[in-house]
Amino acid sequence: MIAAPLPDLVAESQRVLAAARERDVVVRLAGGLAIRHICPAASKPPLNRQYADLDLAIAGGGAHRPLSDLLRGLGYQPESTFNALNGSTRLQFIDATNGRHVDVFVDAVRMCHVIDFKDRLLLLEDTLSPADLLLTKLQIVELNHKDVLDALALLHDLALARGNGPGIDIDHLERVWGNDWPLWKTSQLTLEKIRFVAPSIVDGPATTRILKTVAGLEAILDSGRKSLRWRLRARIGERIRWYELPEEVG
């Protein structure tokens, strides 16, 4: 008998991870639940929030079938038409019991910008890396409250550091921002929004800590080495729209 997905989505995300480890299926949490998994601040006020859906990340190639078999065994049904049309970049599964869905990003999160994690999927055991998770929040043009809370939890709990350690990898951010002016620009604007709104959500030492991290990220934006590709796109600037506006994905 197939067990239905749990009503509590945090507990359900842990059930999916545990089943994936047991069956050697390579999948990582993405989105807000991934941030909740690695950031204690996301589990308590004022930065805790409700979660509507489950976001996962996998590599392309042969990963589709093992993941599909895993999720079917856990009580999910594939969105067959959507998956047939979009399977090279994204998959969807339905949790009919709880009225939720699972979004599976393949090789990259493709929303307002493309955050490529193809070669970085294995950096952490359960989630995408902190730097990749941060980029998935900073790349959002129309930032909503839940995205602000997620970003604040990351900025509060994780320090900026070089290399693939437990912090937010400065080296990776410099490489990504230095070669992608559109993502650089949106990240700059999003950090401005976060800096403005943070004092109205957190206070005291938490505000100081977050604003210090924001300032560090803004320094990276300003000082990081820029590629020829970046400089050529920067000349065009905002005269041409530099982002997409995708549908809400949970």
pLDDT score at 248: 47
Would you say residue 61 has pLDDT above 90? no
pLDDT tens per residue, range 85-122? 999 999 999 999 999 999 999 999 999 999 999 999 99
Would you say residue 215 has pLDDT above 70? yes
Q: pLDDT class for 59, splitting at 50, 70, 90?
A: very high
Amino acid sitting at position 118: K
pLDDT score at 197: 97
Q: pLDDT class for 249, splitting at 50, 70, 90?
A: very low
- Per cent of the chain over pLDDT 70 is 98
Cα–Cα dist 123/91, whole Å: 22
Q: What is the pTM of this model?
A: 0.95
10 Å Cβ neighbour count for 204? 7
Average pLDDT estimate for 136-152 = 97
Average pLDDT estimate for 227-246 = 96
pLDDT score at 165: 78
Contact 17, 26 (CB under 8 A): no
Would you say residue 64 has pLDDT above 90? no
Average pLDDT estimate for 29-40 = 98
Contact 53, 100 (CB under 8 A): yes
Domain edges within the chain: 9-239
Average pLDDT of the chain, as a whole number: 95
Burial class (CB in 10 A: 0-12, 13-18, 19+), 197: middle
Average pLDDT estimate for 118-134 = 97
pLDDT score at 1: 54
Cα–Cα dist 183/109, whole Å: 13
Average pLDDT estimate for 20-46 = 97
Query: Beta strand 54-58 with 168-169: parallel, antiparallel or unpaired?
Result: unpaired
Would you say residue 250 has pLDDT above 60? no
